A and B are shown apart, each in its own frame.
Chain A
Amino acid sequence: MKRNGISIIEVMIALAVTTIIAGPLLYLYQSGLKSSTSGVVSIDILSEGRRICTQIHDDLKNSCIPYRGGFTMRFSDLLEADFSRADGLSGAEYRLYRHTTAPELIKKDIDGQKMLLRPVMHVRYRLEKLQNSDLLKLVRIESTDGAPERIKVLSERVSFLKIQPVKVSEGGEQGYLWNVKLQLAYVPESVQAGFAFSTTDRSRGILVNDFYDVVYSDFFKSVSQNPLAPRNWHTGLTFQRH
Protein backbone atom coordinates (compact mmCIF):
# COMPACT_ATOMS: atom_id res chain seq x y z
CA MET A 1 0.00 0.00 0.00
CA LYS A 2 1.41 3.36 -1.04
CA ARG A 3 1.60 5.86 1.81
CA ASN A 4 0.51 9.45 1.27
CA GLY A 5 2.67 12.33 2.57
CA ILE A 6 6.11 13.86 2.09
CA SER A 7 9.28 11.87 2.53
CA ILE A 8 12.27 13.16 4.49
CA ILE A 9 14.26 13.35 1.24
CA GLU A 10 11.63 15.65 -0.28
CA VAL A 11 11.64 17.85 2.82
CA MET A 12 15.44 18.05 2.74
CA ILE A 13 15.48 18.92 -0.97
CA ALA A 14 12.80 21.59 -0.42
CA LEU A 15 14.84 23.03 2.48
CA ALA A 16 18.01 23.04 0.40
CA VAL A 17 16.25 24.81 -2.50
CA THR A 18 14.68 27.35 -0.09
CA THR A 19 18.09 28.04 1.48
CA ILE A 20 19.71 28.53 -1.92
CA ILE A 21 17.02 31.02 -2.94
CA ALA A 22 16.62 32.70 0.48
CA GLY A 23 20.40 33.31 0.96
CA PRO A 24 20.83 35.86 -1.86
CA LEU A 25 17.39 37.31 -1.17
CA LEU A 26 18.31 37.92 2.47
CA TYR A 27 21.62 39.47 1.37
CA LEU A 28 19.70 41.64 -1.07
CA TYR A 29 17.26 42.69 1.64
CA GLN A 30 20.07 43.50 4.10
CA SER A 31 22.12 45.51 1.63
CA GLY A 32 18.97 47.32 0.50
CA LEU A 33 18.14 48.16 4.09
CA LYS A 34 21.73 49.29 4.80
CA SER A 35 21.78 51.41 1.65
CA SER A 36 18.41 52.94 2.42
CA THR A 37 19.49 53.79 6.00
CA SER A 38 22.79 55.21 4.80
CA GLY A 39 20.97 57.28 2.14
CA VAL A 40 18.54 58.74 4.68
CA VAL A 41 21.36 59.47 7.18
CA SER A 42 23.51 60.98 4.43
CA ILE A 43 20.75 63.36 3.31
CA ASP A 44 20.02 64.15 6.97
CA ILE A 45 23.70 64.99 7.67
CA LEU A 46 23.86 67.12 4.53
CA SER A 47 20.79 69.18 5.41
CA GLU A 48 21.96 69.49 9.04
CA GLY A 49 25.41 70.69 7.90
CA ARG A 50 23.88 73.19 5.49
CA ARG A 51 21.56 74.48 8.22
CA ILE A 52 24.44 74.94 10.69
CA CYS A 53 26.63 76.64 8.07
CA THR A 54 23.78 79.00 7.12
CA GLN A 55 23.26 79.89 10.79
CA ILE A 56 26.98 80.47 11.42
CA HIS A 57 27.20 82.47 8.16
CA ASP A 58 24.32 84.70 9.23
CA ASP A 59 25.81 85.24 12.72
CA LEU A 60 29.26 86.09 11.37
CA LYS A 61 27.86 88.29 8.60
CA ASN A 62 25.94 90.36 11.17
CA SER A 63 28.67 90.27 13.81
CA CYS A 64 29.63 93.61 15.32
CA ILE A 65 31.39 95.22 18.24
CA PRO A 66 28.97 96.90 20.66
CA TYR A 67 29.57 100.62 20.97
CA ARG A 68 31.17 101.45 24.30
CA GLY A 69 32.42 104.90 23.48
CA GLY A 70 35.77 103.71 22.13
CA PHE A 71 37.15 104.11 18.65
CA THR A 72 39.70 101.34 18.30
CA MET A 73 38.59 97.99 17.02
CA ARG A 74 40.33 94.94 15.69
CA PHE A 75 38.99 92.10 13.59
CA SER A 76 39.91 89.65 16.34
CA ASP A 77 37.50 91.49 18.70
CA LEU A 78 34.53 90.34 16.64
CA LEU A 79 34.82 86.66 17.52
CA GLU A 80 36.21 85.21 20.70
CA ALA A 81 37.39 81.61 20.60
CA ASP A 82 37.63 80.20 24.13
CA PHE A 83 39.47 76.91 24.48
CA SER A 84 40.49 77.48 28.13
CA ARG A 85 38.03 74.90 29.49
CA ALA A 86 38.25 72.62 26.48
CA ASP A 87 39.34 69.01 26.52
CA GLY A 88 40.16 68.54 22.86
CA LEU A 89 37.26 70.28 21.18
CA SER A 90 34.77 69.42 23.90
CA GLY A 91 34.09 72.49 26.05
CA ALA A 92 35.30 74.93 23.38
CA GLU A 93 33.22 78.02 22.84
CA TYR A 94 32.96 80.66 20.11
CA ARG A 95 31.37 83.95 21.23
CA LEU A 96 30.27 86.98 19.27
CA TYR A 97 27.92 89.93 19.28
CA ARG A 98 25.59 90.42 16.36
CA HIS A 99 22.85 92.75 15.23
CA THR A 100 19.35 91.47 15.52
CA THR A 101 17.22 91.32 12.42
CA ALA A 102 14.64 93.68 13.97
CA PRO A 103 14.99 97.14 12.42
CA GLU A 104 14.29 99.00 15.67
CA LEU A 105 16.52 101.20 17.81
CA ILE A 106 16.69 101.25 21.60
CA LYS A 107 17.31 104.30 23.81
CA LYS A 108 20.21 103.92 26.20
CA ASP A 109 22.26 106.11 28.55
CA ILE A 110 26.00 105.58 28.13
CA ASP A 111 28.31 107.73 30.30
CA GLY A 112 25.58 110.34 30.64
CA GLN A 113 25.03 110.48 26.89
CA LYS A 114 21.66 109.55 25.52
CA MET A 115 22.04 107.10 22.65
CA LEU A 116 19.88 105.41 20.13
CA LEU A 117 21.36 101.98 19.61
CA ARG A 118 20.71 99.09 17.30
CA PRO A 119 19.88 96.12 19.52
CA VAL A 120 22.75 93.70 19.85
CA MET A 121 22.50 90.02 20.63
CA HIS A 122 25.15 87.82 22.23
CA VAL A 123 25.65 84.44 20.58
CA ARG A 124 27.68 81.48 21.83
CA TYR A 125 28.49 78.27 20.01
CA ARG A 126 29.45 75.59 22.49
CA LEU A 127 30.79 72.10 21.81
CA GLU A 128 29.79 69.55 24.45
CA LYS A 129 30.84 65.98 25.04
CA LEU A 130 28.26 63.27 24.41
CA GLN A 131 28.01 60.12 26.51
CA ASN A 132 29.26 56.89 24.86
CA SER A 133 30.26 58.71 21.72
CA ASP A 134 33.34 60.34 20.24
CA LEU A 135 31.11 62.88 18.53
CA LEU A 136 30.19 66.26 20.01
CA LYS A 137 27.02 68.20 20.59
CA LEU A 138 26.90 71.70 19.08
CA VAL A 139 24.74 74.15 21.00
CA ARG A 140 23.86 77.72 20.03
CA ILE A 141 23.01 80.03 22.92
CA GLU A 142 21.44 83.36 22.12
CA SER A 143 20.89 86.11 24.67
CA THR A 144 19.60 89.65 24.48
CA ASP A 145 19.30 92.29 27.19
CA GLY A 146 16.53 91.43 29.64
CA ALA A 147 15.38 88.31 27.81
CA PRO A 148 15.96 84.70 28.87
CA GLU A 149 18.63 82.73 27.00
CA ARG A 150 17.50 80.76 23.97
CA ILE A 151 19.34 77.46 23.75
CA LYS A 152 19.21 75.37 20.61
CA VAL A 153 20.96 72.07 19.94
CA LEU A 154 22.14 72.29 16.35
CA SER A 155 23.69 68.85 16.06
CA GLU A 156 24.80 65.79 17.98
CA ARG A 157 27.22 64.48 15.39
CA VAL A 158 29.92 67.11 15.16
CA SER A 159 33.42 65.73 14.88
CA PHE A 160 35.14 69.01 14.02
CA LEU A 161 34.44 72.74 14.03
CA LYS A 162 36.89 75.54 13.41
CA ILE A 163 36.28 79.23 12.71
CA GLN A 164 39.49 81.04 11.88
CA PRO A 165 40.38 84.40 10.34
CA VAL A 166 41.99 84.44 6.89
CA LYS A 167 43.81 87.37 5.36
CA VAL A 168 43.32 88.64 1.81
CA SER A 169 46.03 91.04 0.70
CA GLU A 170 45.43 93.12 -2.39
CA GLY A 171 47.17 96.24 -3.66
CA GLY A 172 49.09 96.81 -0.43
CA GLU A 173 45.91 96.60 1.63
CA GLN A 174 44.73 93.67 3.62
CA GLY A 175 41.39 92.55 4.88
CA TYR A 176 40.11 89.73 7.01
CA LEU A 177 37.37 87.17 6.53
CA TRP A 178 36.43 84.01 8.40
CA ASN A 179 36.93 80.51 7.19
CA VAL A 180 34.47 78.05 8.74
CA LYS A 181 35.21 74.32 8.70
CA LEU A 182 32.69 71.82 9.98
CA GLN A 183 32.69 68.04 9.93
CA LEU A 184 29.64 65.94 10.75
CA ALA A 185 29.78 62.19 11.07
CA TYR A 186 27.54 59.20 11.58
CA VAL A 187 29.12 56.21 13.24
CA PRO A 188 26.99 53.11 14.01
CA GLU A 189 26.98 51.97 17.66
CA SER A 190 28.91 48.82 16.76
CA VAL A 191 32.01 50.80 15.74
CA GLN A 192 31.59 53.74 18.06
CA ALA A 193 34.08 53.23 20.88
CA GLY A 194 37.42 54.90 20.22
CA PHE A 195 37.14 54.52 16.48
CA ALA A 196 39.14 57.08 14.53
CA PHE A 197 37.19 58.19 11.48
CA SER A 198 38.28 60.58 8.80
CA THR A 199 36.46 59.54 5.63
CA THR A 200 33.24 57.82 4.65
CA ASP A 201 33.36 54.03 4.84
CA ARG A 202 29.99 52.78 3.57
CA SER A 203 30.89 49.12 4.12
CA ARG A 204 31.07 49.81 7.88
CA GLY A 205 28.18 52.25 7.80
CA ILE A 206 30.41 55.27 8.61
CA LEU A 207 29.47 58.54 6.95
CA VAL A 208 31.62 61.68 7.15
CA ASN A 209 30.66 64.96 5.48
CA ASP A 210 32.84 68.07 5.42
CA PHE A 211 31.45 71.57 5.08
CA TYR A 212 33.20 74.88 4.60
CA ASP A 213 32.35 78.50 4.17
CA VAL A 214 34.00 81.91 3.78
CA VAL A 215 32.28 84.96 5.24
CA TYR A 216 33.02 88.56 6.17
CA SER A 217 31.40 90.87 8.70
CA ASP A 218 29.32 93.60 7.05
CA PHE A 219 29.96 95.89 10.01
CA PHE A 220 33.74 95.44 10.03
CA LYS A 221 33.99 95.83 6.24
CA SER A 222 32.16 99.16 6.43
CA VAL A 223 34.29 100.44 9.27
CA SER A 224 37.65 99.22 7.96
CA GLN A 225 37.10 100.36 4.37
CA ASN A 226 35.73 103.78 5.35
CA PRO A 227 38.32 105.03 7.86
CA LEU A 228 36.68 108.43 8.21
CA ALA A 229 33.30 107.00 9.12
CA PRO A 230 32.30 107.40 12.77
CA ARG A 231 32.98 104.18 14.60
CA ASN A 232 29.50 104.02 16.01
CA TRP A 233 27.54 104.63 12.82
CA HIS A 234 26.50 101.02 12.54
CA THR A 235 25.83 100.15 16.14
CA GLY A 236 24.51 103.37 17.54
CA LEU A 237 23.61 106.97 16.82
CA THR A 238 23.77 109.85 19.22
CA PHE A 239 20.34 110.73 20.43
CA GLN A 240 19.99 114.51 20.11
CA ARG A 241 17.30 116.36 21.99
CA HIS A 242 16.21 119.74 20.71
Chain B
Amino acid sequence: MPGQTEIKKAGGFSFTEILLATMVLGLLVIYVFTLISESNRGTASAYHQYLAEQVAREPLEVFRFLGSNRVRESLNTGIADYKFNEWQKIETVSAATGIERPEDATAFERKITVTPLTHKNMEAILVQVSVRPTRGSVGLGVGLDQLSRSTIIVNQR
Protein backbone atom coordinates (compact mmCIF):
# COMPACT_ATOMS: atom_id res chain seq x y z
CA MET B 1 0.00 0.00 0.00
CA PRO B 2 1.34 3.47 -0.76
CA GLY B 3 2.74 5.29 2.25
CA GLN B 4 3.55 2.10 4.25
CA THR B 5 7.16 1.00 4.91
CA GLU B 6 7.91 -2.70 4.31
CA ILE B 7 10.05 -4.22 7.08
CA LYS B 8 12.07 -7.10 5.77
CA LYS B 9 13.12 -9.68 8.34
CA ALA B 10 16.83 -10.39 8.03
CA GLY B 11 17.70 -14.13 7.41
CA GLY B 12 20.49 -16.04 9.28
CA PHE B 13 21.30 -16.94 12.89
CA SER B 14 21.20 -14.61 15.83
CA PHE B 15 24.19 -14.23 18.17
CA THR B 16 22.35 -16.18 20.92
CA GLU B 17 21.71 -19.10 18.55
CA ILE B 18 25.39 -19.29 17.56
CA LEU B 19 26.42 -19.08 21.22
CA LEU B 20 24.07 -21.92 22.11
CA ALA B 21 25.27 -24.06 19.20
CA THR B 22 28.91 -23.47 20.20
CA MET B 23 28.11 -24.42 23.79
CA VAL B 24 26.40 -27.65 22.75
CA LEU B 25 29.34 -28.51 20.45
CA GLY B 26 31.81 -27.70 23.25
CA LEU B 27 29.99 -29.92 25.73
CA LEU B 28 29.90 -32.73 23.17
CA VAL B 29 33.66 -32.42 22.57
CA ILE B 30 34.37 -32.44 26.34
CA TYR B 31 32.15 -35.52 26.76
CA VAL B 32 33.90 -37.41 23.94
CA PHE B 33 37.36 -36.52 25.32
CA THR B 34 36.31 -37.72 28.78
CA LEU B 35 35.06 -40.93 27.23
CA ILE B 36 38.40 -41.50 25.45
CA SER B 37 40.43 -40.77 28.56
CA GLU B 38 38.20 -43.06 30.69
CA SER B 39 38.61 -45.83 28.11
CA ASN B 40 42.42 -45.45 28.24
CA ARG B 41 42.36 -45.51 32.03
CA GLY B 42 40.14 -48.60 31.98
CA THR B 43 42.49 -50.62 29.76
CA ALA B 44 45.50 -49.50 31.82
CA SER B 45 43.81 -50.53 35.08
CA ALA B 46 43.00 -53.98 33.63
CA TYR B 47 46.75 -54.51 33.17
CA HIS B 48 47.53 -53.19 36.64
CA GLN B 49 44.90 -55.49 38.16
CA TYR B 50 46.62 -58.42 36.46
CA LEU B 51 50.00 -57.36 37.87
CA ALA B 52 48.52 -56.88 41.36
CA GLU B 53 47.06 -60.37 41.14
CA GLN B 54 50.43 -61.87 40.19
CA VAL B 55 52.12 -59.95 43.02
CA ALA B 56 49.56 -61.52 45.40
CA ARG B 57 49.88 -65.03 43.96
CA GLU B 58 53.70 -65.08 44.13
CA PRO B 59 54.08 -65.67 47.93
CA LEU B 60 51.17 -68.14 47.85
CA GLU B 61 53.05 -70.26 45.32
CA VAL B 62 56.34 -70.00 47.23
CA PHE B 63 54.68 -70.93 50.56
CA ARG B 64 52.80 -73.84 48.96
CA PHE B 65 56.16 -75.05 47.73
CA LEU B 66 57.81 -74.72 51.16
CA GLY B 67 54.89 -76.36 52.94
CA SER B 68 52.96 -75.52 56.08
CA ASN B 69 55.61 -76.63 58.58
CA ARG B 70 58.44 -74.53 57.21
CA VAL B 71 56.27 -71.43 57.06
CA ARG B 72 55.05 -72.03 60.65
CA GLU B 73 58.65 -72.21 61.84
CA SER B 74 59.38 -68.79 60.36
CA LEU B 75 56.35 -66.86 61.63
CA ASN B 76 58.49 -64.39 63.61
CA THR B 77 61.30 -63.93 61.14
CA GLY B 78 59.62 -64.06 57.74
CA ILE B 79 60.74 -66.16 54.80
CA ALA B 80 63.48 -64.97 52.43
CA ASP B 81 62.42 -61.34 51.88
CA TYR B 82 58.73 -61.98 52.53
CA LYS B 83 57.96 -60.16 55.80
CA PHE B 84 54.75 -60.87 57.70
CA ASN B 85 52.08 -58.42 58.96
CA GLU B 86 53.58 -55.31 57.41
CA TRP B 87 53.19 -53.44 54.14
CA GLN B 88 56.22 -54.11 51.98
CA LYS B 89 57.24 -52.34 48.78
CA ILE B 90 57.72 -54.54 45.71
CA GLU B 91 61.19 -54.56 44.19
CA THR B 92 61.94 -55.43 40.56
CA VAL B 93 64.42 -58.08 41.70
CA SER B 94 64.16 -59.92 45.00
CA ALA B 95 67.53 -59.81 46.76
CA ALA B 96 66.91 -63.08 48.62
CA THR B 97 65.41 -65.27 45.89
CA GLY B 98 66.35 -63.56 42.63
CA ILE B 99 62.71 -63.46 41.47
CA GLU B 100 62.41 -60.84 38.73
CA ARG B 101 59.24 -58.76 38.40
CA PRO B 102 58.13 -56.19 35.85
CA GLU B 103 58.98 -52.54 36.47
CA ASP B 104 55.27 -51.72 36.78
CA ALA B 105 54.98 -54.06 39.78
CA THR B 106 56.93 -51.52 41.87
CA ALA B 107 53.75 -49.41 41.86
CA PHE B 108 52.35 -51.79 44.49
CA GLU B 109 52.96 -52.78 48.07
CA ARG B 110 52.05 -56.09 49.66
CA LYS B 111 51.05 -57.35 53.10
CA ILE B 112 51.28 -61.03 54.02
CA THR B 113 49.44 -62.44 57.02
CA VAL B 114 49.94 -66.03 58.16
CA THR B 115 47.56 -67.58 60.71
CA PRO B 116 48.30 -71.06 62.12
CA LEU B 117 45.25 -73.33 62.14
CA THR B 118 44.77 -76.53 64.11
CA HIS B 119 41.89 -78.96 63.92
CA LYS B 120 42.15 -82.27 65.81
CA ASN B 121 45.35 -83.83 64.47
CA MET B 122 45.52 -81.62 61.45
CA GLU B 123 47.78 -78.59 61.23
CA ALA B 124 47.54 -75.94 58.57
CA ILE B 125 48.21 -72.28 57.86
CA LEU B 126 45.98 -69.62 56.39
CA VAL B 127 47.96 -67.27 54.16
CA GLN B 128 46.33 -63.97 53.24
CA VAL B 129 47.98 -61.57 50.84
CA SER B 130 46.75 -58.02 50.19
CA VAL B 131 48.11 -55.80 47.45
CA ARG B 132 47.47 -52.07 47.11
CA PRO B 133 48.91 -49.31 44.93
CA THR B 134 51.57 -47.10 46.51
CA ARG B 135 50.68 -43.45 47.04
CA GLY B 136 50.71 -41.40 43.87
CA SER B 137 50.84 -44.42 41.57
CA VAL B 138 48.19 -45.72 39.22
CA GLY B 139 45.14 -47.26 40.84
CA LEU B 140 43.49 -50.63 40.44
CA GLY B 141 40.37 -49.21 38.86
CA VAL B 142 37.18 -47.60 40.04
CA GLY B 143 35.99 -48.85 43.44
CA LEU B 144 39.00 -51.12 44.02
CA ASP B 145 41.45 -49.91 46.69
CA GLN B 146 43.23 -53.20 47.22
CA LEU B 147 43.21 -56.79 46.05
CA SER B 148 43.34 -59.84 48.33
CA ARG B 149 44.08 -63.50 47.72
CA SER B 150 44.31 -66.27 50.29
CA THR B 151 44.96 -69.98 50.59
CA ILE B 152 45.02 -72.70 53.22
CA ILE B 153 48.10 -74.91 53.22
CA VAL B 154 47.66 -78.19 55.07
CA ASN B 155 50.58 -80.00 56.62
CA GLN B 156 51.24 -83.27 54.80
CA ARG B 157 52.44 -86.03 57.06
Contact = CB atoms under 8 A, between A and B. Distances in A.
Interface residues of B, number: 40
Contact of A211 (B32, B40, B102): B102
A167 B97 contact: yes
Interface stretch (B54-62, B116-124, B128-136): B54-62
A168 B65 contact: yes
B100 interface: yes
Of B25, B44, B96, B99, most A-chain CB atoms within 10 Å: B99
B36 A179 contact: no
B97 A166 contact: yes
B1 to A, nearest CB: 23
Contacts of B101: 212
A28 B42 CA distance: 19
A178 B80 CA distance: 16
A75 to B, nearest CB: 12
B102 A210 contact: yes
A36 B35 CA distance: 10
A39 B42 contact: yes
Interface string B43-87: 110110011001001100110111100100110000110000000
Q: How large is the interface on A (under 10, 10 to 19, 20 to 34, 35 or more residues)?
A: 35 or more
A170 B74 contact: yes
Nearest to B79: A170
A32 B29 CA distance: 11
B97 A170 contact: no
Given A46-B46, A171-B70, A210-B104, A28 B32 contact: yes
B152 interface: no
Interface in B1-59: 25, 29, 32-33, 35-36, 39-40, 42-44, 46-47, 50-51, 54, 57-58
B50 A46 contact: yes
Contacts of B42: 39
Contacts of B102: 181, 210-212
Nearest to A221: B65
Contacts, number: 95
A177 B100 CA distance: 12
A115 interface: no
A190 B51 CA distance: 30
A35 B36 contact: yes
A31 B29 CA distance: 12
Contacts of A84: none
A214 B73 CA distance: 23
A166 B51 CA distance: 20
Interface string A177-190: 10101000000000
Given A46-B46, A212-B105, A215-B61, A35 B39 contact: yes
Closest 4 CB pairs of A and B: A210-B102, A42-B43, A216-B65, A35-B36
Interface of B: 25, 29, 32-33, 35-36, 39-40, 42-44, 46-47, 50-51, 54, 57-58, 61-62, 64-67, 70, 73-74, 79-80, 94, 96-105
19 contacts: A21-B25, A28-B29, A39-B40, A39-B42, A42-B46, A46-B43, A50-B50, A164-B100, A166-B97, A168-B66, A169-B96, A170-B70, A175-B66, A177-B62, A181-B102, A210-B104, A212-B54, A213-B57, A225-B67
Interface of A: 21, 24, 28, 31-32, 35-36, 38-39, 42-43, 46, 49-50, 162, 164, 166-171, 173, 175, 177, 179, 181, 199, 202, 209-216, 221, 225
